[in-house]
Amino acid sequence: MSEAAGLSRSGTRFGGPGRIWAIALNTFREATRNRVLYVLVLFAVGLMGFSIVLGQLSLHEEVRVIKDIGLAGISIVGLAISLFLGVNLLSKELDRKTVFFVIPKPLHRYEFLLGKYVGMAVTLSVLVAVMAATLVAVLASQGGKHDVALLRAETLVLLELWLVLAVAMLFSSFSSPYLSAMFTAALWVVGRNSGELRTFASGKLADTPLGMVLSGVAKVVPDFHAFFVSGGTLGDDTPISIHGGFIGWGYVGEVALYAGAYGGVCLVLATVLFARRDLT
């Protein structure tokens, strides 16, 4: 009840943004107390440490191996964290019935949901920053440096995780945690392979019912392939690599706008569905 009272005082004093930020801070504190997140981050740190061993086995490619494995670790662990946060924190509030105490008037359901998202997005940003700082230290120990290309790649990873979080919250607004995790993970896999879907749809399967279905799916699902930071190319064969020719900040800005637009739609749909959900 003290939390609800605090949120009510914050809403009275600062209005809607104040109530959203109060929920966000509470969500951040709750997330940072979860030991699972620390285990996942330690896994990423251990993976970066192991990359030193793998780098020693390569032929003068230590820094390249560390960058590849370190970035992959941040992406994979970040994906696991975003799925865990997106499908669990909201369901915990519903299961423990604490949502009844933090949605009193004048707090609205959309403020509660947006506050949860902001808090989880801040948590993700802090954890990615910690893993990126670890990668900087590992690179420095091997005589490498954290350049601008790697910073752009980490920015794309963070943008992707924010979008995954929005998608996970959309599913968790009306479904169980297990189904939400399955739906979000499946959508991520399909989105990561959206380029292949478009190739099949416009190639061998052109003008066929299956090709039309694949083309429609590729247009609807989030294009997570656009965030793929190494080892691939864009639709116009623009290379995406942290070692050679890399896309510039202009592309990162375009992807940020895309992530904001798609994530915004997901959050709007989530607030509509959550507003109609029976919490009794």
DSSP 226-270: GG--SSEE-TT--EE-SSSS---HHHHHHHHHHHHHHHHHHHHHH
Q: Token pair for residue 207? A: 């003008």
Q: Is residue 16 part of a domain?
A: yes
Q: Token pair for residue 174? A: 């009306």
Alpha-carbon gap, residue 91 to 29, rounded angstroms: 17
**Containing structural domain, residue 210:** 2-275
What pLDDT shows up at residue 261? 96
Q: Is the pLDDT of residue 11 over 60?
A: no
Q: Is residue 148 part of a domain?
A: yes
Q: Is the pLDDT of residue 201 over 60?
A: yes
Q: Is residue 200 part of a domain?
A: yes
Alpha-carbon gap, residue 235 to 189, rounded angstroms: 18
Q: Is residue 280 part of a domain?
A: no
Number of domains composing the chain: 1
Q: Is residue 242 part of a domain?
A: yes
Q: Is residue 38 part of a domain?
A: yes
Residue pair 54/64 in contact (Cβ under 8 Å)? The answer is no
What pLDDT shows up at residue 99? 57
Q: Is the pLDDT of residue 239 over 60?
A: no
What average pLDDT does the chain have? 80
What pLDDT shows up at residue 5? 45
Residue pair 263/160 in contact (Cβ under 8 Å)? The answer is no
Q: Token pair for residue 161? A: 């995780």
| Residue 234 banded pLDDT, cuts 50, 70, 90 | low
Q: Is residue 78 part of a domain?
A: yes
Residue pair 187/222 in contact (Cβ under 8 Å)? The answer is yes
Q: Is residue 198 part of a domain?
A: yes
Alpha-carbon gap, residue 163 to 67, rounded angstroms: 24
Of 109 and 28, more confident: 28
| Residue 279 banded pLDDT, cuts 50, 70, 90 | low
| Per-residue model confidence as pLDDT tens digits over 91-107 | 776 666 555 555 555 66
